[in-house]
Amino acid sequence: MSSLDKKLVHSRIALPRRRLTTPLARIALLLLALVFSALLFFGDFSNPADSTTYAICSHGSNIYIVDTLNSRTSCILVVDSFISDTGDLDAIQRRRTSTVPLRVRYIPDGAMIVPGISESHAHIMHYGLYRQIPLEMGRNISETVSFVENYIVSNPDIYNNMSKVIEGWGWDHTAWPESRFPTAADLDASIVIRGRSVMLRSKDGHGTWVSGRVLQDIRPLPHTIEGGVIVRDKKGQPAGVFLDNAQELLPVPILTEEDYERRFSTTVRNALANGLTSIHDAKLDFRQLDFFKRKAAAGKLPIRLYGMTNYDEGEEYWGNITKPQILSDDRRFSARSVKIVGDGSMRTGGAALYEPYTNNPTTNGFMRVSEATINRVIPLFLRDGWQVNVHAIGDRANGIVLDALESAFEDVNVAARRPRLEHAQIMAKADIKRAGKIGVIASVQPTHVIDDMWYAEEHIGPERIKGLYAFRSLLNSGARITLGSDFPVETMNPLAGFYAAITRVSLDGNSPHGPGGWFPEQRLTRLEALRGMTIDPAYASFTESVLGSLEPGKRADFVVLSQNIMTVPVSEIMNTKFLATVIDGIAVHGEI
């Protein structure tokens, strides 16, 4: 030991020999010792270097691992963004090799931990737009118009700029007493709106309501458009609503980087507060894709994203030019799937059916992408390494997609590409069986069930309705199910989907078939629903090796819920709070 070292040691051991002559000094030293001991035992979560090694435990086995055995445990050990171990605390302590005291946190009594929750079908930028004007709150046309007026008046930069395009999302004409589509005249009746360009998307995204200024700017219009409808008045003139492919006739506002950032931040903030750690964005254009790529490259994605790049009728095939993007280094971003919008929606009569609509025998709905195009491009995308995800609502649309997948068998292992039917709403019995045989993933939205169940039979009759939202039948066929909300079409809260999947009743406990549920034989169990929010969407996005369960070696993504949704009465599920959302071991919402 050097002379300098000896002096330092002597200095350190000599200090305690000084007598503490007052009780106050002795108390102060005792407090300092207690604080120092606490820091050694619990650590300091404000220090980034120490913040990713800790154990989090429950009183009882209220941590659901969601592995193949559906195991539960009392503690998980987090080390450097990963799950390192699971089990009871004593066993974890015995298996540790580190000599550094382990920091331990306990969740509140009655709370539970589940793997990070994935949203399997959503629209990130549209949700940010949706939050601008509360159109979904409109109880009739005039009240909905008043929300647009208030938005304009409360934003001086918009009020003072007559050329600014005003966008919104969320109106639902089926909930209004008028029982009709709104019109441009309804908007232009407002002196605040008149002369402005206003474009408002419907709740389901399949219709856009525009002002007279927009109609004026896009004339002349074709009389018909394949895969869409221009709603017309009694004189045959465009009334102000464009359905499905007809929306492509409307101008597309050019969004700035600030627009993207504002909408993205709004969505992510709400998503993290609702326990979401991953989002599958179900329709990216190339500008949105570039925005997410830039965020990922800069390490500025606060949530995991799985992107579906949109392909439209009439586009040149690009699957052999643009390559699938398979996971960024931090596992925050991947874009290896293509999204094809096959048909319209049942609500607007656009879902493609084998037989005419019961309430409108003049139409079978329509395909937004032709059958010929689907048969041509699906095998090509599969061959070039893409997962193919097709919006298919009507039974005919689902059948056409399954035909195309079967036709690709000779050239590619279709099941290995994990194709997805986005929505898979109305399916014939034979097609449900085919879906399981092919290895299709049904990406479904349970909250649509408790919304559509009130009017569905009027649209498609008592027989076809048996194949609507047939979740149990799909599972029994061998198909996988992954759960989403389609936000902003439905609430972002994943517990609403969990509740709807296991009950098939409205939030007040009712259904057209009574309190036992609407076609209760199609309900999922709580465990199936939990898997549909965690490990199954991980499989559907090729990330099951690193996400979806709390097994050692996987990323430390988990959610702390205020109560155990697997055991509480179903009427209590929606009272559950998200106490914390954790990604890579770090709390991004709440505290641990």
Per-residue pLDDT reduced to its tens digit, 45-95: 333 334 579 999 999 999 999 999 999 999 999 999 999 999 999 999 999
Average pLDDT, the chain: 91
Residue 326 — very low, low, confident or very high, per pLDDT cuts 50/70/90?
A: confident
Question: What is d(CA 295, CA 299) in angstroms, rounded to the nearest whole number?
Answer: 6
202 strand-pairing partners: 171
CB atoms within 10 A of CB 299: 10
Question: What is d(CA 520, CA 516) in angstroms, rounded to the nearest whole number?
Answer: 7
Token look-up 């689902």 returns 398
Do 75 and 57 form a contact (C-beta atoms < 8 A)? yes
Looking at 3.90.1660.10, 2.30.40.10, 3.40.50.970, 3.40.50.10260, the CATH number of the domain 53-116+551-581 comes to 2.30.40.10
CB atoms within 10 A of CB 41: 11
Q: What is the pLDDT of residue 37?
A: 41
Percent of the chain exceeding pLDDT 90 equals: 83
Query: Token digits for 230?
Result: 């221009």
| Contacts for 315-318: CB closer than 8 Å, 24+ residues apart | 317/377, 317/380
Compute CA distances 26 → 15, 17, 31, 40, whole Å.
14, 13, 9, 21
Candidate from 2-11, 160-169, 289-298, 501-510 with smallest mean pLDDT: 2-11
Class of the 124-249 domain?
alpha beta
Query: Token digits for 15?
Result: 């200090």
Question: What is d(CA 445, CA 453) in angstroms, rounded to the nearest whole number?
Answer: 13
Residue 39 has pLDDT above 70, yes or no: no
Candidate from 201-205, 462-466, 531-535 with smallest mean pLDDT: 201-205
- Check residues 179 and 534 and name the one with the higher pLDDT: 534
DSSP state of 575: G
Candidate from 50-54, 62-66, 338-342, 424-428 with smallest mean pLDDT: 50-54
At 134-154, the pLDDT tens digits run 899 999 999 999 999 999 999
Candidate from 37-41, 78-82, 396-400, 418-422 with smallest mean pLDDT: 37-41
**Dihedral, CA atoms, 174, 178, 179, 184, nearest 10 degrees?**
-80
Do 228 and 240 form a contact (C-beta atoms < 8 A)? no
Q: What is the pLDDT of residue 99?
A: 86
Do 324 and 284 form a contact (C-beta atoms < 8 A)? no
DSSP state of 425: -
Q: What is the pLDDT of residue 51?
A: 55
CB atoms within 10 A of CB 35: 10
Tell me, yes or no, if the two domains 53-116+551-581 and 124-249 fold the same way: no
Q: What is the pLDDT of residue 17?
A: 34
Do 135 and 147 form a contact (C-beta atoms < 8 A)? yes
Q: C-alpha 157: how far from its chain's center?
A: 32
Straight-line distance from the first to the last Cα atom of the chain, in angstroms, rounded to the nearest whole number: 44
Which amino acid is located at 459 in the chain? H
Close Cβ partners of 568 (under 8 Å, ≥ 6 residues apart): 576
Query: Token digits for 240?
Result: 């102000």
Close Cβ partners of 24 (under 8 Å, ≥ 6 residues apart): none
Q: What is the pLDDT of residue 330?
A: 80
Which amino acid is located at 311 in the chain? Y
Close Cβ partners of 468 (under 8 Å, ≥ 6 residues apart): 425, 426, 452, 456, 460
Domains of the chain, by residue range, sit at 53-116+551-581, 124-249, 274-550+582-590
Buried-exposed string 78-106: b where 16+ CB fall within 10 A, e elsewhere: bbeebbbbbbeeeebbeebeeeeebbbbe
- What is the C-alpha R_g of the chain? 28
Question: What is d(CA 443, CA 427) in angstroms, rounded to the nearest whole number?
Answer: 13
- Alpha-helical (H) ranges within 384-534 are 395-407, 429-438, 446-452, 456-464, 471-477, 494-503, 526-533
Question: What is d(CA 390, CA 423) in angstroms, rounded to the nearest whole number?
Answer: 9
Compute CA distances 295 → 43, 119, 163, 257, 291, whole Å.
32, 20, 30, 12, 6
DSSP per position, 368-424: SS-HHHHHHHHHHHHHTT-EEEEEE-SHHHHHHHHHHHHHTTTTS-TGGG--EEEE-
281 strand-pairing partners: 122, 307
Do 99 and 38 form a contact (C-beta atoms < 8 A)? no
Candidate from 4-8, 334-338, 545-549 with smallest mean pLDDT: 4-8
Do 399 and 390 form a contact (C-beta atoms < 8 A)? no
Tell me if the bond preceding 302 is cis, omega within 30° of 0.
no
Compute CA distances 268 → 76, 168, 277, whole Å.
26, 19, 10
Query: What is the pLDDT averaged over residues 290-298?
Result: 94
Do 513 and 519 form a contact (C-beta atoms < 8 A)? yes
Give the orientation angle of helix 257-273 with respect to helix 286-297, to 10 degrees.
70
- Check residues 122 and 29 and name the one with the higher pLDDT: 122
Q: What is the pLDDT of residue 29?
A: 45
- Identify the CATH number of the domain defined by range 274-550+582-590: 3.20.20.140
Q: What is the pLDDT of residue 255?
A: 85
Question: What is d(CA 293, CA 291) in angstroms, rounded to the nearest whole number?
Answer: 5
Query: Token digits for 562?
Result: 């205020």
At 480-508, the pLDDT tens digits run 999 999 999 999 999 999 999 999 999 99
- Check residues 3 and 157 and name the one with the higher pLDDT: 157
Token look-up 């504002």 returns 262
- Global confidence as pTM: 0.84
Q: What is the pLDDT of residue 113?
A: 99
At 371-410, the pLDDT tens digits run 999 999 999 999 999 999 999 999 999 999 999 999 999 8
Query: Token digits for 241?
Result: 């609503």
Query: What is the pLDDT averaged over residues 528-542?
Result: 99
According to DSSP, the β-strands at 441-444 and 480-483 are parallel
CB atoms within 10 A of CB 520: 15
Residue 7 has pLDDT above 80, yes or no: no
Nearest to 282 by CA among 467, 407, 118, 452: 118
DSSP count for the chain of H helices, then E strands: 19, 23
